[in-house]
Amino acid sequence: MNKLNTYLGYFLAFLMGIMLSSVCWQVFSRYILSSPSSFTDELARYLLIWIGLLGGAYASGQGMHLAIDLLPTKLEGKSQIRLNVLINILVILFVLGALVVGGLRLVYITYSLGQTSAAMQIPLAYVYIILPISGLLIITYKIRDILALNNPKSTQNKA
C-alpha cells in the first residue's frame, strides 16, 4: 500500500512536469516559432483532469482532504470508531456511485459513440477512464482506513 502511494506520487509529479512543458511549449511555439501548436491546449486540459482526480485519490490516501473534525474528536472509544467508519462508508458510497458506476458508464457511452477529441483525435473514453480508476483507488484506501480503525494497534483513523 505504501509502495502504491510512492509510485502514484512519482506518476503525479511526472504528469505535472508534462503539463508544465506543454503550456510552455504553447508560448514558445507561438512567439519563437510563430506557428502556434494545436495540441498543447487540449493535452494540458486533459492532464489537469487526470491530476485533479488521481491527485484527489492520492490526497485521500494521505487523509489530506479538509474536514470539520469537531464531532469525531469529541467522541471517544467505540462511538468515535463507529463515526469514522460511517464517514468512510459515506465516502465510498459517493465514489462508487459517481466515480466508478457513473464514470464507467460515461467511458462506455463515449467509447461506443466513438467520440474523439478535437485536436489530438484521441478517444474521449481514454480521458474519462481516470474517473473509475481514481474511484477504485479511493475505495481501496477507504477500506484500508476502515480495517485500520477496527484494528486497535493501528493509529491511523483519518477519514
Partner 1 sequence: MEVTEVLILITSFVVFLGIGVPIAWSIGLSGIVTLLVSIDSLPAFTTYAQRMATGLDSFTLLAIPFFVLAGQLINKGGLAQRLILLAKNMMGSLPGGLAHVNIVAAMLFGAIAGSAVAAATAIGSILGPRMEEEGYSKEFGAAVNITSSTTGLLIPPSNILIVYSLASGGVSIAALFIAGYLPGILTGFMLMVVAAIWAKKKGFPVGERTKFSELYKSFLDAIPALFLLVIVIGGIIAGIFTATEASAIAVIYTLGLGFFYKELKVKELPKIFLDSVSTTSIVLLLIATSIAMSWVMSFEEIPQTVSASLLALSDNPIVILLMINLILLGVGTFMDMTPAVLIFTPIFLPIVMEMGIDPIHFGIIMILNLSIGLCTPPVGSVLFIGVGVAGTTISKVIKPLLPLFIAMIVALMLITFFPQISLWLPSLFGF
Give the binding site for partner 1 (CB under 8 A). 9-10, 12-13, 15-17, 19-20, 23-24, 26-27, 41, 44-46, 48-49, 51-56, 58-59, 62, 64-72, 83-84, 86-87, 90-91, 93-95, 97-99, 101-103, 105-106, 109, 127-128, 130-131, 159
- Cβ neighbours around 83 below 10 Å, total: 16
Cell numbers representing residue 36 in the block: 502556434
Shortest CB 90 distance to partner 1, Å: 5
Query: Cell 503525479 identifies what position?
Result: 12
| Min separation Cβ 47 and partner 1, Å | 9
Do the Cβ atoms of 48 and 128 come closer than 8 Å?
Answer: no
Query: Which three cell numbers mark 68?
Result: 470539520
- Please, which residue, 19 or 146, has the CB nearer to partner 1? 19
Residue 81 dihedral angles phi and psi, to the nearest 5°: -60, -45
